[in-house]
Structure 1
């Protein structure tokens, strides 16, 4: 055991955030702390680091073990470049290297015993230098910075000129290179693209020390951690396994707790009814028995009702009008900013009912494509064609669809004037805005709160084509899961940009990867994309790897692409056949009901020829329906 937290409690005023929490971390163990926004996750990290005092309890760290901590927000200042800032971590190695160089110079002027003594010191220092990876520290720094998404050209940028996200990445690089025995990370993936997150996953999985992570990236947690520490209403529970294991176990436990609570409530109600009935008999014996039962009830240890997830948003997305089958067609799309060409000859189509995720590195132009489809930005070339009866609902990560000076109430009322006060309050309450919250100005809200207001407007829009830019940013895990369910059950069409791989895995039916200034199509979720990525991108890579790729592999890639297109066409054909079958079943079932109504009429059942004709039609419909039901089952598979 390398770290132990025993009976930790912390309150801010009357709000008790952590109540008697205990857990421990083993050497080399990777653990996650999860919970809704405001559950106390960052507070717990600060208590472990000694930055915040706990109200009670103690944190014990094994003797001689070191801690390293990355907070959510970093404010690096000074004139150092990115490389120099990270290099400072290696100061002891740099000083050791300087001493070695000086000793080499000094030894040229020494003889005899002095030379022998210095050679011994030199040998010992060289060994220590080698042990601390002194001969490879420069490549180690370069590897970490590149892994975190910095190019070599950016190494010489001053840290004072960096954005908040870039500063966080520099601080993360510094922390990883110090190699403490226990690393504490608060939302480390917030400012990383997919490639950098994948690199960090591999780094942490192979890290020799222990790691404690607060993160909302469930895919990341699934890959890295083997223990999950949950904070729920101040109560801590510890689960073995990764995030998926935790989610499954938590659901089972909550279900069992709710079942026990409902059974107890049912038993209490039954006993109270029996007591009331016994008392109503108004006999001495019955009253004594009623009193005996009352005493028994008083001794029951009441179970608390399992808490509902506090942050649960109630999202129901439903289109008002069904669009045509061809929702969006994009041909020959091109966009540059000054001399920077983002993409060229981008072509893709989206059909009704698809949920398409656009992925790619930071700065490749994913959000730009969404803005062009929405008419917010113009293209340099190409055309964007919306299909018949397509109504767009847009969610942008900058929340430009919101008016900063308006209150939440006015924001909804002005957009949907037909809604009354009660309806507006009910919608806002579904997105966790209650009481006087509805009169807050949009500009005074946090990023997560603005996201919830944008989602509320989206829900009310009844659009049949949702275009979402990073919809899970600033949402906690519970809210993400609720949004996932809403999108999976949505009968319209969805196009979105996201870095959340778990979210993509759950919701996407197709992925468009914006890479090398073009889009590569994958018919499947994120796991399928990972499986096919190397194969598919070989056709779109301009570098040496494409030139040196074996001809057989390129041919296989082309075949794979062709197979994907054929599979897509086959799925569309099957979906159309399924729709036709459903329509025919509905028509025949309606007619069958009409015949039943006719057969109940006296003028029909007394008319023998008419009666026989209707019975024959009903029998024919029955046979047709049997065939159609079987056909529907085959297609639905």
Structure 2
């Protein structure tokens, strides 16, 4: 395997906080690596260092000569006044350089220069560059190509930046949370695109289905080191558990040794000899190793929710619109005790607005919301919570409560609760200003849970949370004794925590679906397939009505006409040709050799070919049932 990138002995710290200590990893040709770590351990910092955006104290980073690299930042920005289309011409790629050279050649009116520029445009397949850009933007639901990027939402800017990275067709693509702000359709398109390209990939994402379907390797950063696992996310979970089991066995051996050495230390008034001093030093190293393991223990929560009565909430005739856009239209729903509901739907269909109406932050145009007297909401919003940067992490939580009840007389202190949510004893006394974006979201989550609500309302809680925290939160919500409403595009998370769904379909239409997210997606695909089949049958009926009726022969079954025989012969030639084209398209789509534009065009074409095969095969069967 050709090496594209080598990171060797990397050292990076912020003040007294060491992120990486002699960290090494590599990316080879065709490798698609997912980077996993707790928030605050330096995932984004590592990507920034590799992309040349941040400095480091020691180590070496080596790229293959002439390697084309594209980087999607977590929070991208474009120059002021840049339009959406202009932003996608900021990429550095051979095709874009060919376009720029061609435009200069046209302006120069030098015939030789123009011929060379046109030859380069041919070589780089750059004539349809703009149309390829527009295809990708459309897939990412950005349709106003002339809109200034300054008028876009943060999510839209991220999608434009993603299009910019993809159109560059790099050898190595570095992605920081690429699925944030993508709905399901966009995420599945990106999965399909990345799975069928030849580019190498290094990315950070919390979307575990995405990791499973796209990545060939997983790199976990833990205790300032990188651990490499060959295989996708599912294989990583198995191999990581094996590593943790081995670590548990080592911990048990270390604990036994610690007890023995502690007894020896207590018996020795002073270590005079060289061997004795060496033994004391080894004891100190062992003690430090055990302390680190205690601080990085796994999170397990079994919090007792406050009592909640039988009456939860009921909405009657709820309606809401913004101008001509209908969000809710006479919606009725009665929430049951201990219900765990997921809310899904495309962006802009009103999911967050519904939540804000429930929380009293937005008023409905019509209808009522009747909430039970015992309900105590805990609301986690997309907007987050503004903290005092000068406060310590522990103080933020103790201002809410000194402890949280676990039931049966057990309780957790605020410090223990923070440690369960992966804030080490040292980090708890850090100032908020030192926290990463993901750590701030984790602290915000702690402030919501620390209030011990009996009804949790979580609006996109998975954004910016690391996978370890998500696993903790899933475990907590699965055992949670209260009610739950959660909005999320994270399919893996929703499958774990929601037992049924409200699907916001747009135009005020809401469907109550009795199953998890994967069940709904499968149902949706089957429904769309049935609708396509029904459409084909309806078209066939219309065509039959439009065809001139043949007079029936007096003696039984009629025979095929001359025209029908000719049609059947033609179908017998066309169907194998279409089957051959379908096989070739499948080969090309699976080869990883297509450009973005070719991939999009051939994906559309294979759908057309399959529909033609079905239509012509059905017609051939109809004709074959008529006597020749």
TM-score normalised by L of structure 1 = 0.69
Say whether residues 1:94 and 2:99 are aligned partners: yes
User: Alpha-carbon deviation of 1:382?
Assistant: 3.1
Supply the distance in 2 between the matched residues of 1:56 and 1:413 (Cα, whole angstroms). Answer: 39
* Structure 1 residue aligned with 2:182: 192
**1:419 to 1:317, Cα distance in 2 relative to 1, 3 A:** closer
Look up the SS of the partner of 2:241 in the other structure.
helix
For 1:133, which of 115, 121, 125 is the aligned residue? 125
1:307 aligned to 2:299?
no
For the residue of structure 1 that corresponds to 2:88, the secondary structure is helix
**In structure 2, C-alpha distance between the alignment counterparts of 1:58 and 1:371, rounded to whole Å:** 50
How many Å apart are 1:33 and its aligned residue? 1.5
- Cα 1:56–1:388 shift into 2, 3 Å: closer
SS at match of 1:16: strand
Q: Which moved further from structure 2: 340-349 or 89-98?
A: 89-98
Cα 1:522/1:173, change in 2 over 3 Å: same
CA change 1:365–1:272 in 2 (3 A) is closer
The 1:309–1:511 alpha-carbon spacing in structure 2 relative to 1, beyond 3 Å, is: farther
CA shift at 1:369, angstroms?
0.7
Equivalences for residues 333-372 of structure 1 within 5 A: 333-372=318-357
- Distance apart, 1:490 and its partner CA: 0.9
- Alignment size in residue pairs: 518
CA contact (8 A) 2:9 2:23 kept: yes
Structure with larger RCO (C-alpha < 8 A, sep 6+) = 2
1:323 corresponds to which residue? 309
Q: Distance in 1 between matches of 2:348 and 2:524?
A: 20
**Is it true that 1:28 corresponds to 2:20 in the alignment?**
no
**More displaced stretch, 3-12 vs 169-178:** 3-12
Tell me the residue number matched to 2:378: 393
CA contact (8 A) 2:265 2:280 kept: no
Measure the CA separation in 2 of the matches of 1:183 and 1:250: 26
Which of these residues, 511, 527, 534, is aligned with residue 518 of structure 2?
527
2:494 aligned with 1:504, yes or no? Answer: yes
**Range that drifts further, 172-181 or 258-267:** 258-267
Q: Deviations over 1:458-513 (max 9, x none)?
A: 33444332221122233222111111110001122211111222211221111222
- Matching of residue 256 in structure 1 with residue 226 in structure 2: no
Give, in angstroms, the shift of residue 145 of structure 1: 0.8
CA deviation string 1:526-564 (max 9, x = no partner): 22122112345799x9xxx79937589xxxxxxxxxxxx
User: How many angstroms does 1:155 deviate by?
Assistant: 1.6
Pick aligned residue for 1:73 from 63, 72, 75 = 75
Q: Distance in 2 between matches of 1:510 and 1:548?
A: 30
Residue 189 of structure 1: how far off its partner (Å):
2.3
User: Structure 1: how far apart are the matches of 2:212 and 2:10?
Assistant: 27
Q: SS of the residue aligned with 2:329?
A: strand
C-alpha deviations, 1:382-431, integer Å up to 9, x for none? Answer: 333445844433222224698999997887677669999x9556656655
Other structure's SS at 1:142 match: helix
Q: Go from structure 1 to structure 2 and tell me whether the alpha carbon gap of 1:403 and 1:393 turns closer, same or farther (over 3 Å shift).
A: farther
Cα offset, 1:84, TM superposition: 2.4
- Displacement of 1:185 after TM fit? 1.3
Compared CA separation, residues 495 and 238, structure 1 to 2 (3 A): same
Say if 1:363 and 1:295 are closer, same or farther in 2 by CA, change over 3 A: closer
Per-residue deviation, residues 63-94 of structure 1 (Å, max 9, x unmatched): 33211122222221232310122145454343
1:452 Cα shift? Answer: 4.0
SS class of match (1:155): coil
**Which of 139, 164, 174 pairs up with 1:147?**
139
3-state DSSP class of the match of 1:74? coil
Cα RMSD over matched residues? 4.4
Larger radius of gyration: 1
- Asked if the contact 2:402/2:414 (under 8 Å) is kept, the reply is no
**What are the superposed Cα offsets for residues 208-228 of structure 1, whole Å, 9 maximum, x if unpaired?**
210100222222212211111
Whole-Å separation in 1 of the counterparts to 2:124 and 2:379: 53
* Alpha-carbon distance between aligned partners in 2 of 1:391 and 1:509, rounded to the nearest angstrom: 21
Aligned to 2:479: 489
Q: How much does 1:5 deviate? A: 2.3
Deviation at 1:245, TM superposition (A): 2.0
The aligned counterpart of 1:62 is 64
Hey, what's the Cα distance between the residues in 1 that align with 2:240 and 2:403? Answer: 42
The separation in 2 between residues aligned to 1:268 and 1:409, in whole angstroms, is 30
Q: Is the 8 A contact 2:357 2:364 kept in 1?
A: yes
CA, structure 1 residues 435+201, in 2 after alignment: closer, same or farther (shift >3 Å)?
closer
Confirm or deny that 1:381 pairs with 2:366. Answer: yes
- Are the equivalent residues in 1 in contact too, given 2:403–2:414 (CA < 8 A)? no
| Contact 2:341-2:502 at 8 Å conserved across structures | yes
Distance 1:194 1:510 in 2: 17
Q: CA deviation at 1:319?
A: 2.2
Q: Which whole-Å CA distance do the structure 1 matches of 2:345 and 2:302 have between them?
A: 29
Counterpart for residue 565 of structure 2: none
> Shift of residue 236 of structure 1?
1.3
- Counterpart position of 2:163: 173
Shift of 1:60: 2.5
Cα deviation for residue 204 of structure 1 reads 1.5
Cα distance in 1 between the residues matched to 2:82 and 2:239: 48
Change (3 A) 1:392 1:6: closer
Show CA shifts across 1:249-271 (max 9, x none).
21221121111231353366469
Give, in whole Å, the separation in 1 of the partners of 2:71 and 2:165: 7
CA distance in 2: counterparts of 1:217 and 1:61, whole angstroms: 28
Question: Which has more helix, going by share of residues?
Answer: 1
Looking at structure 1, the residues matched to 15 and 205 of structure 2 have their Cα atoms a distance apart, in angstroms, of 26
- For residues 136 and 47 of structure 1, do their structure 2 counterparts lie closer, same or farther at Cα, with a shift above 3 Å needed? same
**1:215 matched residue in structure 2:** 205
Equivalent residue, structure 1, for 2:228: 238
**Structure-1 residue corresponding to 2:459:** 469
Q: Return closer, same or farther for 1:547/1:350 CA change in 2, 3 Å cut-off.
A: farther
* 1:514–1:405 distance in 2 versus 1, CA, 3 Å: farther
Task: Rate the CA distance shift 1:477–1:126 in 2: closer, same or farther, 3 A.
Answer: same
Could you give the per-residue CA deviations for residues 136-156 of structure 1, whole angstroms, max 9, x where no partner exists? 323311121122231x2x221
Q: Residue 53 and residue 407 in structure 1: after superposition, are their counterparts in 2 closer, same or farther (change >3 A)?
A: closer
Is the contact made by 2:7 and 2:23 (CA closer than 8 Å) also made in structure 1? yes
